[in-house]
Amino acid sequence: MSKTSTRLVELDFFRGLVLLVIVVDHIGGSILSRFTLHTYALCDAAEVFVFLGGFATATAYCSLAARHTEAVARQRFLRRGLELYRAFLITAVLMLVVTAAFTALRVNAPNLATTDLDDLLDTPAPVLGDLLLFRRQPYLASVLPMYTFFALSVPAILPLARSKPWRLLAGSVALWALAPAIASSLPIADGTQWDFNPCAWQLMFVLGVLARCQPVYERASTHRLGWLATVAAVCVVAAGAYYKLFVENTPMDSSVKQNLSWLRISNFIAIAWLAAHLVRIGWARVLAQRLPWVTHIGRQGLLCFVAGTVISLVVDSLLYQATGGLLNVRLGLVADAVAIGALIAVAKASAPVSRVFALRFGNTSG
């Protein structure tokens, strides 16, 4: 991807698209989710979301440093860490409120059992303490704790990404390799594990930062042997799709995603390489211009993520109640339309919604 600001519309478009995918992917009876990335690849929208977060973070940091100073950029991302922490607490509370409301209405759905409401009612003080310390991460809020750590690490990561990229990459890979052993040291309650091990997923964030700070794609794609990288990417993507469609009989172990398996990384890198071609030849920009509502969702990334968690839980629970957990194409499509429409509405109403939750949701950070 280019380092110029002309690429920001593509960035916003991809971020908006992945937020929409995340919403429908967490609706069990969704029809559209049968055609999203996780169906055809060993990775899913999570890798795209974190990678684009790194790319957007680097864009914002470099812009702030150029317009002001490095100190201003560092301070902005320290504050961003606090904003993400606050967003996590708001998301956790919203998950609990939705669960309490549906419980009172006698709506039963599997995902409502993952929000820690029962534990909160039994032992409120310890559970609230666990939430404040990230020891508990209610359903769909689990990506925000690692994002908080990423934001706080930006003042150390960005200077290295610009001046010593290979050293940063080597350190990131080393930490990723050690991540499974470190997982047991993360703060947890009742033996639960983090859905996303931040020591592993930081590699995806760092790759996004490096993609913004270093013109790796431009150099490799214009090299006389650059076409070999594209052929290799096509082969990796095709192999991943074949495995998912014709070989995989049961879902992979959860640790494969939790600790960001090398299979997921390699599949994502191949997909990202091909997506970069779409950016280079202008197709992504055309799509962004023709689908401005997707781009607008991307510009309100954090707000739409928080709202999307609520939308997914509400729509998924109501759909499950209506269908008994069975696939219903008509109701599934209705649920998809409602979820997407709700997220678009949130993005359009971003200013008043942001004021209500006292959060800064903008396009200046990842």
Radius of gyration of the chain measured on its C-alpha atoms: 20
**Nearby residues of 284 by Cβ (< 8 Å), 6 or more positions away:** 10, 13, 14, 275, 278
Give Cβ neighbours of residue 218 (< 8 Å, ≥ 6 apart).
2
User: Among residues 218, 212, 214, which one has the least CA distance to residue 163?
Assistant: 214
Q: Provide the pLDDT for residue 114.
A: 78
Which of 243, 319, 351 lies closest to 30 in space, CA to CA? 319
pLDDT, residue 308, reads: 96
Asked if residue 327 belongs to a domain, the reply is: yes
Is residue 361 situated within a structural domain?
Answer: no
CA 96 to CA 86: how far, in whole Å?
15
Q: Name the token pair of 214.
A: 């270093």
How many of the other CB atoms lie within 10 Å of CB of 316?
Answer: 25
pLDDT tens track for 127-139: 999 999 999 998 8
CA 319/CA 315 separation, integer angstroms: 6
For residue 364, tell me if it sits in a domain: no
Total domain count, the chain: 1
Q: What is the DSSP letter of 252?
A: P
- 36 assigned to some structural domain: yes
**Count of residues making up the chain:** 366
Query: Helix (H, G, I), strand (E, B), or coil: what is residue 164?
Result: coil
Q: For position 158, what pLDDT does the model report?
A: 96
How far is it, in rounded angstroms, from Cα 140 to Cα 22? 10
Task: State the DSSP H helix or E strand holding residue 178, giving kind and residue range, or none if neither.
Answer: helix 165-182
Domain that holds residue 301: 5-215+226-356
In a domain, 220, yes or no: no
Quick one: DSSP state of residue 253?
P
DSSP calls for 15-76:
HHHHHHHHHHHT-TT-SGGGGSHHHHSSS-HHHHHHHHHHHHHHHHHHHHHHHS-HHHHHHH
In a domain, residue 312? The reply is yes
Using a cut of 0.95, tell me whether the model's pTM lies above it: no
Let me know: does 140 contact 95? Beta carbons within 8 Å: yes
The CA distance from 148 to 19, in Å, is: 18
Please give the Cα distance from 331 to 339 (Å, whole number). Answer: 12
Nearest to 47 by CA among 182, 146, 193: 146
pLDDT score, position 356 = 59
> Distance between the two ends of the chain, CA-based, in angstroms?
16
Tokens 């839980």 label which residue?
A: 313
Predicted pLDDT at 61:
94
Q: What is the pLDDT of residue 249?
A: 84
Whole-angstrom distance, CA of residue 58 vs CA of residue 50: 12
Predicted local confidence at residue 121, as pLDDT: 87
342 assigned to some structural domain: yes
Structure tokens at 238: 């095709």
**Of 4, 21, 7, nearest in space to 305 by CA:** 21
**Residue 339 domain flag:** yes
CA distance 62 to 152: 16
Q: Tokens 């706080």 appear where?
A: 152
Q: Which residues in the chain come in under a pLDDT of 50?
A: 1-7, 359-365
